[in-house]
Structure 1
Amino acid sequence: MFRSRSKAQAATPEVTADQPKKPRDPQAPKGRPTPKRSEANSQRRTLAATPANRKEATKRAREARRADMAKQREALASGDERYLPARDKGPVRSYVRDFVDARYSVAEFFLPLAVLILVLSMINRGAFQAYVLLAWLVVIVLIVINSAITGITLKRALKQRFPDENLRGAVPYGLMRTLQMRRLRLPKPKVKRGEKR
């Protein structure tokens, strides 16, 4: 009994890396189960769906990117957390948005004030030009003071509300949101002005 096994082992030569591999005998078992027809069809479809060349692959990647961007735009308009960009995701960023949207800010009126001051600066009267320059200075100082107060209160509120969370970049995110006019902010504001957050 032991002799027959050793003879069988001696009869089968070992394949080394130098020797080429012989093709498999069609009658020999393949070493894995035959896939179900549904699995084979799905594999065939995925193989058929793979792009044939580089141009096709870039075209498909571009279309996928466009679809992702469309989902992100819809999420920014509706506030759907699943498809928001990474910079807007999470409870910390949501709280920062609500904190900023519930308050008035001088910075959000910067664009209309800048246009108004620019139009007024076109009037060529000596004393009037000095008042326009003073208005620019007042607006900038008010924005800096308001941004400093908002940043300090936001940082304090975040530390109380999220003591164990990573708060890196949350305050600059909120300050950048104050620079946008409320109606143009994305994601859209979910709270009314004056609501306590």
Structure 2
Amino acid sequence: MPWQRSADEADADATDTAVDDPQTTEPARKASYTEGKGRPTPKRRDAEKKRGPVAPPPMTRSEARARRKDMRQTMSKDERREERARQRDLRNEIRDRRMAGEEEYLLARDKGPVRRYARNLVDSRRNFAGLFTPIALVFIVLVYGLPRYSMLVTLALLVFVLMVVVDCIYVGRMVGKRVAERYPDSTDGGFKLWWYAASRALQMRRLRVPKPQVERGEAV
């Protein structure tokens, strides 16, 4: 009869129902299918643009100090400790390289072949002016320790200062003359170079920055 179906047709309908049943097919679909994000993956340069502009480097010391203060406020205690240790190591490295005379780490006043040559000239001789600091301290102690002879001590101190001034003038003129001979086209000369050489001669040898690169008496 038309309203009666065969057993094979009933089984086929049951099979179609099982295949099309969403409760049966959903777990299998989720296991084998990854749903899209619904939008394309942005390019790297587009993602970097969305991060916002990068802050320019500080132009002054006060600006750098304020920026470091703001950064420390957002850091944890351990992060601040690590940052201080990193900054300390960096300062030590810069100081060591500056003392060694590496050009890129020197101050602006010490850079250049002319200034290096002037330092070598000063360091290669025994400068009387280098005794100024220790002997001046001795005279000051004698003035207060021996008030009875304060006039003689003061007179001796004045003579000593005069000798130091004469030595500084000699060093400045000598360095200026030697630099003019070796670097005739250099514009780094005159009073500034004289003062640079004299001020280095006034310093004790072990306190000079950068450290002397030549020995006393060595030909330069």
TM-score normalised per structure 1: 0.66
Give the structure 1 partner of residue 102 of structure 2.
80
Give the structure 1 partner of residue 211 of structure 2.
188
* Shift, 1:59, TM fit: 2.3
Give the Cα–Cα distance (whole angstroms) in 2 for the partners of residues 59 and 49 of structure 1. 19
Aligned letter for 2:175?
L
**Cα gap change, 1:45 to 1:184, in 2 (>3 Å):** farther
Give the Cα–Cα distance (whole angstroms) in 1 for the partners of residues 182 and 50 of structure 2. 48
Q: Gapped runs of 5+ residues in structure 1?
A: 1-35
Identity %: 36
Looking at both structures, which has the greater relative contact order when contacts are Cα pairs under 8 Å and sequence separation is at least 6? 1
Instruction: Give the alignment of 1:24-35 within 5 angstroms.
Output: none
* Shift, 1:69, TM fit: 5.9
Aligned letter for 2:173?
I
CA RMSD of aligned residues (A): 3.4
**Bigger proportion of residues as helix:** 2
Give the counterpart of 1:150 among 127, 150, 171: 171
Aligned residues: 154
Instruction: Give the conservation status (yes or no) of the 8 Å contact 1:72–1:85.
Output: no
Give the structure 1 partner of residue 147 of structure 2.
124
* Shift, 1:73, TM fit: 2.1
* Shift, 1:191, TM fit: 0.5
1:138 and 2:159 matched? yes
* Shift, 1:102, TM fit: 0.7
Which is higher, the Rg of structure 1 or of structure 2?
2
Instruction: Give the alignment of 1:85-104 within 5 angstroms.
Output: 85-104=107-126
**Cα gap change, 1:130 to 1:145, in 2 (>3 Å):** same
Instruction: Give the conservation status (yes or no) of the 8 Å contact 1:108–1:178.
Output: yes
Give the Cα–Cα distance (whole angstroms) in 1 for the partners of residues 106 and 93 of structure 2. 8
Listed one character per residue, the Cα deviations across residues 105-163 of structure 1 (whole Å, up to 9, x for unaligned) are 122111111111011112122xx222201211111110111111111111110100100
Listed one character per residue, the Cα deviations across residues 4-45 of structure 1 (whole Å, up to 9, x for unaligned) are xxxxxxxxxxxxxxxxxxxxxxxxxxxxxxxx75xx28x829
Q: Gapped runs of 5+ residues in structure 2?
A: 1-42, 56-62, 72-82
Give SS of 2:147's match: coil
Give the structure 1 partner of residue 184 of structure 2.
163
Give the Cα–Cα distance (whole angstroms) in 2 for the partners of residues 150 and 56 of structure 1. 40
Aligned letter for 2:68?
K
Give the structure 2 partner of residue 176 of structure 1.
199
Give the Cα–Cα distance (whole angstroms) in 1 for the partners of residues 115 and 132 of structure 2. 23
Instruction: Give the conservation status (yes or no) of the 8 Å contact 1:71–1:83.
Output: no
TM-score normalised per structure 2: 0.60
* Shift, 1:88, TM fit: 0.8
